[in-house]
Amino acid sequence: MKLYICAIILLSLSQYAVADTTLEFKNLLNLDKQSSTLYQIKDQKLRFTESNSKRVNLFDSQNQQFITFAPATGKAEMLNREVLDTRVAQLNQKRLLKLSRVEQELKEKLKLMTAKEQEVGESIVNQLKFPEFYGEHTLLKVNALESTKKIGDVECKIYQLIKQKKRLKEYCITSPSALQMSNSDYQTLRSFYAFDYNMLTRLMLAMGKSSFELIDYDKEKMQGIIIEIISFKGDSIMQHQMLTSFNTDTLDKSIYDLPER
């Protein structure tokens, strides 16, 4: 009998290990035009689609490659490290060209500026010249709260994104086991988090834009799966995205196929 029970446990663990993952999130603010985002994870690949978009987005964790395409036309765009580096270099060149003009204009105006105005001017130049070190994003701070809450039956830990004592966002993060997610699918999702953060922040900083509200989850030690994000403006909620369903049903491999050229 003991051997029989052990066999059942091993079989169930084996099935859990190869299970795929489907997560559905909904934007809860506008009930009349409620949008949703569907994440489907299988074999180190993530597919996500949005209800208000006709595009399909594929992320290959193993090759660190993102592809977005429109099934109706088959037209696809691909982003990887090499493509990103090229685009960032182009944007940096444009930003530095703009910076040279700003510095020249500032140099002419410095003589007429007060000490306070000079300080502001130098701050603007520094943000344009070294956005990664002087940009507004450097003022962001993450607070891990002691409290937890439940999204449906799933318990999650609360984090707040703060900027100069103002609450910008609130996140609720749960463990992969709470969603019955395999370690492979969990690592794929976490890899996508990191890829998305790196891609967006590098592009924006290359343009000199640093007022983004994005978080490097690994750097901030925010381990787990984000199942709720609430964005605030003052005391008002501007966006509210929440996990509304999840399952580990087997997914068809064909949904990850690329369009034929």
pLDDT level of residue 32 (50, 70, 90 thresholds): low
Model pTM score: 0.84
Alpha carbon 182 to its chain's center: 20
Query: Is 47 within the bounds of a domain?
Result: yes
Residue type, 143: N
Query: Is 252 within the bounds of a domain?
Result: no
Query: Is 103 within the bounds of a domain?
Result: no
Cβ-contact 257, 218 below 8 angstroms: no
Query: Is 179 within the bounds of a domain?
Result: yes
Structure tokens at 80: 């990887």
Cβ-contact 229, 26 below 8 angstroms: no
Picking from 190, 148, 197, 153, the residue whose alpha carbon sits closest to that of residue 171 is 148
- pLDDT tens digits, one per residue of 114-135: 877 777 777 777 777 788 888 8
- pLDDT tens digits, one per residue of 90-119: 999 998 888 877 777 776 776 677 877 777
Q: Which domain holds residue 8?
A: 2-51+139-194+209-246
Query: Is 95 within the bounds of a domain?
Result: no
- pLDDT tens digits, one per residue of 207-230: 989 999 999 999 999 999 999 999
Supply φ then ψ for residue 229, to 5 degrees.
-135, 125
Count of other CB atoms within 10 angstroms of residue 156: 21
In total, how many domains does the chain have?
Answer: 1
Q: What percent of the chain has pLDDT over 90?
A: 67
Picking from 154, 160, 162, 157, the residue whose alpha carbon sits closest to that of residue 172 is 157
Helix (H, G, I), strand (E, B) or coil at 116: helix
Q: What is the DSSP letter of 165?
A: T
Q: What is the mean pLDDT of the chain?
A: 88
pLDDT level of residue 85 (50, 70, 90 thresholds): very high
Residue type, 198: N
Query: Is 96 within the bounds of a domain?
Result: no
Query: Is 42 within the bounds of a domain?
Result: yes
Structure tokens at 227: 């199942």
Q: What residues have CB less than 8 Å from 97, skipping those under 6 apart? A: none
Q: How far apart are alpha carbons 214 and 200 in whole angstroms?
A: 9
Q: What residues have CB less than 8 Å from 22, skipping those under 6 apart? A: 38, 39, 40, 41, 245, 246, 247, 248, 249, 251
Query: Is 100 within the bounds of a domain?
Result: no
- Bigger pLDDT: 156 vs 109: 156
Count of other CB atoms within 10 angstroms of residue 139: 12
